[in-house]
Amino acid sequence: MNAGKKKSFALGLSLLLTLAAPPAASAQRHGGGARAAAPARVSAPQIRSAAPSRGFDLREDTAPPLRQSTPLRQAAAPPQSTPQRFAPVTVSRQGTAPHAPAAGHRPALATNLGYGGGPGGHRIIGDPRYHGGNWGWNHGVTWNPAPRYWGGGFWGPWALGLVAASAFGAIYYDDGTLDSYQVEPDSPGAELLENYQLTQVPCGPPDLVVILGPDNGVICADPNDLVAAGEYQLDPADLTIVALDS
Amino acid sequence: MRPLCSEVTVLSIRMALAGAVLALALAAAPAAQARGTATVTKSSGTIRTYQNVRIRLIGTTSLRVTSADGQGTLSVHHAACSYIGDLRRCLPFEITLDQHGAKHLLDLQRGTLYVNVTGGSLQMPHSTMLVPAHSIVLSLETERGTVISVTGSLDGGAQ
């Protein structure tokens, strides 16, 4: 009787240990197994499980504590486009760009497919693909630029300061230079190019389509039947582009 | 003798089953509570894994990751959200750590957040990795070279 109890208890205990083992192994795999298998990147990683009741160990990355009264929520709100970001620019070869639309301003006479009359007689080219109103191209969700990223992230997840290696020409203005970078596939910018059937090329040469996007992100493309050479301001709400030199 | 032996056998089987049920219950408990996993890889090579973190979307511009002990919360503020198919991709631009009664601003360099609010798994772009239903995949890098990765299911449903 006693022997039988001991045997069954041992069996239960061994089963318990067996079943309890996978989560630990899984944690090991998730936490560092993959990295440990790549010694070229990190030599001899020290894998540790988090100590309980300590939160996250990010001591090296934490700046001095912010004051509790600091309105973090307000500071963290996604930035709205400011007029400065879309300020009219002066192009050396074209003179002053007349009456570029301010941030968030949608030309009232924008038309889809083809050319229409915008404020001040600017040519407006509506997105040839989407006709569903604002943000229809983005599942109806408002797109806001993200600081720290070139062009607010419209053309790809390129962090400012890390994109120099992928420079794709530049546009030279009287008051400065705007560098351009390659548009990432699957980005909103790539969708814009696809919708207008444009092919991106490095900025610099004359007679290109120059599109000024959010946060001074600029890209260039070869002209085609839909978009003639010239400078355009992008309205990210409906991917309309407005000619600045007409 | 024979009846006693049978009795012992039956008892042993019952106890073994009880042990198995207990083991299953213990093994299942963490899984039921599990929300996600956060991994912090420091530039020194040190890796820390935090299991059972709570992941919450706050509106459409903020994500909160709370440690299992509730002592630390990472708030990731993001924007530039766009869609790759049904998979939402956003760019984090600010991250704060609320811990031990103080808020710290981390020096974020870059990152990417994928959010799947659908009921099925979605494939990440340029990857064979799948983002499960109602889950997120987040990767951040700080100016100091610390990489913070978070994967897991959303708490309370996605918005």
pLDDT tens digits, B109-130: 999 999 999 999 999 988 899 9
Domains in chain A: boundaries: 1-32, 90-243
Residues of chain A found within 8 Å of residue B23, distances taken between Cβ atoms: 12, 15-16, 18-20
- Determine which of B78, B84, B104 to mutate to test the interface with A (most A C-beta atoms within 10 Å): B104
Measured torsion, CA atoms of residues B90, A227, A179, B125, in degrees rounded to the nearest 10: 30
- pLDDT score of A226: 95
Residues of chain B found within 8 Å of residue A68, distances taken between Cβ atoms: 102-103
Binned at pLDDT 50, 70 and 90, residue B33 comes out as very low
User: What's the longest Cα–Cα distance across chain A?
Assistant: 101
Burial class for B79, CB neighbours closer than 10 Å (0-12, 13-18, 19+): buried
Q: Using CB atoms, which residue from A46, A49, A75 is nearest to B46? A: A46
CA distance A102 to A118: 13
Residue pointed to by tokens 């820390």? B48
CA distance A187 to A189: 5
Residues of chain B found within 8 Å of residue A163, distances taken between Cβ atoms: none
More confident residue, A109 or B74: B74
At residue B27, does pLDDT exceed 60?
A: no
CA A81 from chain center: how many Å? 15
- pLDDT score of A141: 93
For residue A152, list its beta bridge partners.
Answer: none
B83 in contact with A at a CB cutoff of 8 Å?
yes
A20 in contact with B at a CB cutoff of 8 Å?
yes
CA distance B78 to A76: 9
Residue pointed to by tokens 């924008």? A110
Task: Inspect the interface and report whether the beta carbons of B9 and A4 lie closer than 8 Å.
Answer: yes
| Number of C-beta neighbours around residue A86 at 10 A | 22
- pLDDT score of A50: 55
Nearest CA in chain A to B144: A61
CA distance B153 to A153: 26
**Strands A95-96 and A115-117: what pairing?**
unpaired
Ramachandran region, residue A48 (left: φ > 0; alpha: ψ -120 to 50; beta: rest): beta
A62 in contact with B at a CB cutoff of 8 Å?
yes
With a cut of 0.85, is the ipTM above it?
Answer: no
Binned at pLDDT 50, 70 and 90, residue A67 comes out as low
User: Alpha carbon of B16 to those of A4, A99, B2, B11: distances in Å?
Assistant: 10, 83, 21, 8
**Strands A47-49 and B47-51: what pairing?**
parallel
- pLDDT score of A130: 79
Terminal-residue alpha carbon distance, chain B: 67
* List of residues 6+ apart from A14 with CB closer than 8 A: none
Task: Inspect the interface and report whether the beta carbons of B37 and A31 lie closer than 8 Å.
Answer: yes
pTM of the model: 0.69
A42 in contact with B at a CB cutoff of 8 Å?
yes
Pull the structure tokens for residue A167. Answer: 């420079």
| Closest residue by Cα to residue A152 from A201, A212, A194, A196 | A212
CA distance A146 to chain B (A): 5
Q: Judge contact between B45 and A43, C-beta under 8 A.
A: yes
Binned at pLDDT 50, 70 and 90, residue A40 comes out as very low
Task: Inspect the interface and report whether the beta carbons of A50 and B51 lie closer than 8 Å.
Answer: yes
- pLDDT score of A100: 32
Binned at pLDDT 50, 70 and 90, residue A164 comes out as low
Going by the DSSP 8-state scheme, the letter that residue A31 receives in this structure is I
CA atoms within 13 A on the CB side of A176: 6
More confident residue, A33 or A200: A200
- pLDDT score of B94: 96
Of the ranges A43-47, B1-5, B131-135, which one carries the lowest mean pLDDT score? B1-5
| Number of C-beta neighbours around residue A7 at 10 A | 14
**% of chain A surpassing 70 pLDDT:** 53
Question: Which of A51-60, A116-125, A211-220 shows the highest mean pLDDT?
Answer: A211-220
CA distance A151 to A128: 23
| Closest residue by Cα to residue A196 from A151, A120, A129, A103 | A129
CA distance A164 to chain B (A): 15
* List of residues 6+ apart from A107 with CB closer than 8 A: A101, A118, A119, A122, A124, A235, A240, A242
| Chain segment A10-28, per-residue pLDDT in tens | 434 433 333 333 333 333 3
B58 in contact with A at a CB cutoff of 8 Å?
no
CA distance A85 to A77: 17
CA distance A105 to B39: 43
